Amino acid sequence: MTNDLRPSVVVVGGANVDLIAMAPGSMAPRVSNPGRVRIGPGGAGRNVAENLARLGTRVTLISAVDAGPLGDWLLDLTANAGVDITQVARVPGRGSYYVGIQSDGVLQWAISDMAASESLTPGDIDVRAELIRAAEAVVVDANISPLTIRRVAELAAGPVCVLSVSAVKSARVLDALDRSSLIVLTSAEAHALTGHRAETRDEIVQAGRDLQSRGPAAVVITAGDQGMVWIGSGVTWAHAIPPVTADSTGAGDAVAAVAVYSMLTGIGEDRAARLCAAAGAMTVSVEGSTHPGMTRQALERYAELAKSL
């Protein structure tokens, strides 16, 4: 029996090593372009777990990573951020890597080798059923297979948040929407899931309402320069906070983490939307997939900054 009264969350999804190349301007094709390369921890589920831990939540990550030394390094950093990694499997010969190329802070190309997390089966989830049922909330991302996502949603007793990860992978979450409480995605992913155009604010809200009709009580959609929208009992738009973009990696994962945190702590939809926008702005202001200073106090300061713009 633990006396720890912090909310408990189980995150099931991708954990990987990020290799990010950043060019200061436009790039010429088929030649060597000057720039910088960084290596760091990443993965949608892992990033959400770290952000939640930094916000004071008890978090357990269920994932699988390569059994090599880079996997050791990845998990050490994740554990040092406060995440319980005891449920992460080590899989020899399976990839857990993401390579992205950015120009002027904007992602141009990316390849994700998530074979390790994709190897998780419904049986792997069943042996962790008690842990999932006991969680106050469960987060699951589209880096794992549709059948495994569905099994996670079936076992969860608390609210389920699904992350569609990318337009290419988003269809993996469709069969879990009827058991979800929250979905966090981009406007491009909303278009991929619904078939609706999702470019103007009205179109984005229409796509969000379509998704909401399939199960989730809340739909959070990020839309670049247009900001982000929280569609729940009402519709709340939060303005984008113009940051000095150092690295575009992980912004959506920070938004998802704060959306889950807001749901767990009873923050109202209007305030939650503003804190989510602040989380995205904080994350892109530093190099790396997460912000080491992610706290409730820092989010509040960023949200106040947005009000003054």
Confidence bin at 295 (pLDDT 50/70/90): very high
Enumerate the β-bridge partners of residue 186.
222
290 pLDDT more than 50: yes
Question: Which tens digits make up the pLDDT trace of 59-118?
Answer: 999 999 999 999 999 999 999 999 999 999 999 989 999 999 988 878 899 999 999 999
Query: CB neighbours of 41 closer than 8 A, spacing ≥ 6?
Result: 15, 17, 18, 47, 50, 74, 77, 78, 288, 289, 290
Q: For residues 136 and 57, what is the distance between their CA atoms, to the nearest angstrom?
A: 11
At 59 the three-state DSSP class reads: strand
Q: For residues 260 and 182, what is the distance between their CA atoms, to the nearest angstrom?
A: 8
Mean pLDDT of the chain: 94
Which pLDDT score is estimated for 283?
93
Q: Which structure tokens are listed for 154?
A: 């079936």
Evaluate the CA torsion angle 242, 247, 248, 253 in order and state its sign. Answer: negative
Buried b / exposed e across 210-239, counting CB within 10 Å, b at 16+?
Answer: bbbeebbebbbbbbeebbbbbbbeebbbbe
Q: For residues 231 and 259, what is the distance between their CA atoms, to the nearest angstrom?
A: 12
Confidence bin at 1 (pLDDT 50/70/90): very low
Whose CA is closest to 245, among 288, 277, 284? 284
Question: Which tens digits make up the pLDDT trace of 183-238?
Answer: 999 999 999 999 999 999 999 999 999 999 999 999 999 998 899 999 999 999 99
0.75 exceeded by the pTM? yes
Q: What are the sequence ranges of the domains in the chain?
A: 8-15+42-95+115-307
Amino acid (1-letter code) at residue 51: N
Which pLDDT score is estimated for 305?
75
Confidence bin at 306 (pLDDT 50/70/90): low
CATH for the stretch 8-15+42-95+115-307? 3.40.1190.20
Which pLDDT score is estimated for 185?
98
Which pLDDT score is estimated for 221?
98
Mean pLDDT of 228-256: 88
